[in-house]
Structure 1
Amino acid sequence: MDRLQNIETFVRVAQTQSFAEAARQLRVAKSVVTTRVRQLEDYLGGPLFHRSTRVVRLSELGQAYLRDCTELVGRANDIVDQMREVRGTPAGSLRVHALTGLVLGHFGSLLREFQAAYPEIRLDLIVSDAVVDPVQAGVDCALQIFPAASTELISRPLFPVRRVFCATPKYLRAHGTPKEPRDLHEHRLGLYSGYPTRDRWTFHREGQQFTMYLNAPLLTNSVHLLREYALEHAGIVCVPTLVAGEAILRGDLKIVLPAHQLSSFWLSAVYAETSRNAFKLKLFIEHIAAEFNRVPPWDAALIERKLMPQGLIEE
């Protein structure tokens, strides 16, 4: 019996609350997971889980040992990573979940440079706008603008995600340019449906703030679709500058209500404290932090052209 391997399997089942999901994440058959847990239970002399056809719950014995087992697995993985660090050749797989709006247009060169620096690390990048718990999803890290789903997760802020209302000059000539936030009610709007603030929008100007609710005829979880919608002269949209920045600099889109700032979210790396790939994850996060600092390049260009204020309003 590989006791450490069995303990790691127990921890994975407890975190995912599923033998099948644990098997998928560990890339073994479900029967292998069942056998490993049973071997550990036989060694301890009691059940670690209460099982039914739909629910997997920790037993009293499992609850008593889960924290220590989680720390043990994390420490064991740290030791292996440190040994690889001494050799100077970090290797293995790293699974990352990232927002679509982040990776399209800004991530290709970053990935190329990371792989050039660490050629033996295999990246498995899942791209979607879904909000995930990295443990439940079986990834080492989630790059997202949403708060961590659990207090047991670590959230490291990387850079701010600014949002602006914008439209094409052609649309604004035809329908007028809003002077105050309430003027947005008179326009066809396209809004992102997944912000934590939902339909509530708060505008900041000269130390004052104004909150209102907006009803948009177009809601979508794709910020890229919103940009294309605006470029078709269809209406005013609210999109992150990391998606609209180039179009604004070209003059294809114009920022609406530039003196009324929206609060910014932070793109954060969310991961478990006991990540199996802590060393490789640290290298990846540091690489992102170095590439996109607290004023990412798409914002720096807009600020330099005085198209957007330098000050940041944080959510």
Structure 2
Amino acid sequence: MDRFLSIEAFVRVAETSSFAEAARQLGVTSSVITTRIQQLEKFVNAPLFHRSTRVVRLSEVGEAFYRECAEVVGRVNELTDQMRELRATPTGRLRIQMLPGFALGHFGAPLAEFNRRYPGIQLDVIVNDRVVDPIEEGFDVAFQIFPPIAESLIERRLFKVRRLFCATPAYLKEHGAPQHPRELLQHTTALYSGYPSRNRWTMTHGDEVVEMELPGMIRSNSVHLLRDYALTGGGVVCLPTLVASAALLDGSLVPILTGYTLSPLNFAAVYPATQRQALKVKALVEFLAEYLGPEPAWDRPLIERGWVT
């Protein structure tokens, strides 16, 4: 029995709750994973999992064993990557999930530059806005605006996602511009449906805190669709600046209620703790942090104009 391979298989099954998914992520067959787990259970003389036709979960012994093994596997992978980093450039396939708001319009250029800098890394980019557990779904890293959903995940924040209410000049000429957040209730509004606060909105102006229900006449999980709707003059739309900046700067859209601040979200790389020092993940995350800088390019002119802080 190769003890480390068996322990690695055990950790992956524990994290994914699936022999088949662990096999896929490790690039072996399910029977190989089963054999390695059986050998490990024989070695420790105790069952590590409770198995049924639908569920795989850790036994009491398995839970205690996992806490130690996860750290061991993570440390071995870290040391291996450190040694490789001394001798070579990163190589292999990197499977990532990317948020649509950033993927469309902002990720193409850094993706091309990253590919030139690290030609040995093949990228498999899945674009959607779901909050995922990278371990369960087999991603090396997920880029998202919501906090990690498991304690075993690491979050590296890359930039603030600022948001503004805006509308076309024609809409505001016809309907007037809201001067207070509660006046939004008198307008046709279109909102992103994926925020964790749902219909509950909080805006601040100095010491004033405005909390309100704003259901929205139109809701969508696509910020690009909402931007396109706003450009038709259909109503007031709340948009992240990463998709609205160009339209705001050329005057196609006008910012509203800039004196009131919506709390920013954070665009972050989320990845398993066992990938903390994985060379491919580290290369991509550090590259994006360097490429984006302390403030993303689309926000700098908005900050200069005082529209966002």
C-alpha distance after superposition, 1:55-79 (max 9, x if no partner): 1111222122112211121122112
1:229 match: 229
Q: Which moved more, 1:285-294 or 1:242-251?
A: 285-294
2:284 match: 284
Q: Distance in 2 between matches of 1:145 and 1:124?
A: 20
Ranges in structure 1 where 5+ consecutive residues have no aligned partner: none
Q: Distance in 1 between matches of 2:47 and 2:233?
A: 63
Compute the displacement of 1:43 (Å): 2.7
8 Å Cα contact 2:154/2:276 also seen in 1: no
Residue aligned with 1:38, SS: helix
8 Å Cα contact 1:6/1:37 also seen in 2: yes
Please give the residue correspondences for 1:40-119 in structure 2 after superposition, counting only pairs within 5 Å.
Answer: 40-119=40-119
C-alpha distance after superposition, 1:270-311 (max 9, x if no partner): 12211286222122111111122332110002223x1514x3
Residue aligned with 2:219, SS: strand
2:255 match: 255
Change (3 A) 1:133 1:109: same
8 Å Cα contact 1:84/1:91 also seen in 2: no
Q: Distance in 2 between matches of 1:147 and 1:45?
A: 39
Q: Distance in 2 between matches of 1:250 and 1:128?
A: 28
Opposite residue 151 of structure 1, the aligned amino acid is E
Please give the residue correspondences for 1:85-234 in structure 2 after superposition, counting only pairs within 5 Å.
Answer: 85-234=85-234
CA RMSD of aligned residues (A): 1.6
Compute the displacement of 1:107 (Å): 0.7
Compute the displacement of 1:223 (Å): 0.8
Q: Distance in 1 between matches of 2:96 and 2:200?
A: 30
8 Å Cα contact 2:190/2:236 also seen in 1: yes
8 Å Cα contact 1:226/1:239 also seen in 2: yes
Q: Which moved more, 1:40-49 or 1:261-270?
A: 40-49
Q: Distance in 1 between matches of 2:27 and 2:248?
A: 45
Compute the displacement of 1:187 (Å): 1.0
Q: Distance in 2 between matches of 1:182 and 1:76?
A: 56
8 Å Cα contact 1:140/1:277 also seen in 2: no
Q: Distance in 2 between matches of 1:231 and 1:29?
A: 52
Q: Distance in 2 between matches of 1:87 and 1:142?
A: 28
Residue aligned with 1:156, SS: strand
The question of 1:273 aligning with 2:273 is answered yes
8 Å Cα contact 2:200/2:211 also seen in 1: yes
Residue aligned with 1:105, SS: helix
Q: Distance in 2 between matches of 1:111 and 1:102?
A: 12
1:308 match: 307
Q: Distance in 2 between matches of 1:91 and 1:276?
A: 17
Opposite residue 212 of structure 2, the aligned amino acid is M
Q: TM-score, normalised by structure 1?
A: 0.93
Compute the displacement of 1:146 (Å): 0.8
Opposite residue 152 of structure 1, the aligned amino acid is S
8 Å Cα contact 1:192/1:223 also seen in 2: yes
8 Å Cα contact 2:188/2:217 also seen in 1: yes
Residue aligned with 2:289, SS: helix
Opposite residue 77 of structure 1, the aligned amino acid is N
Identity across matched positions, percent = 54
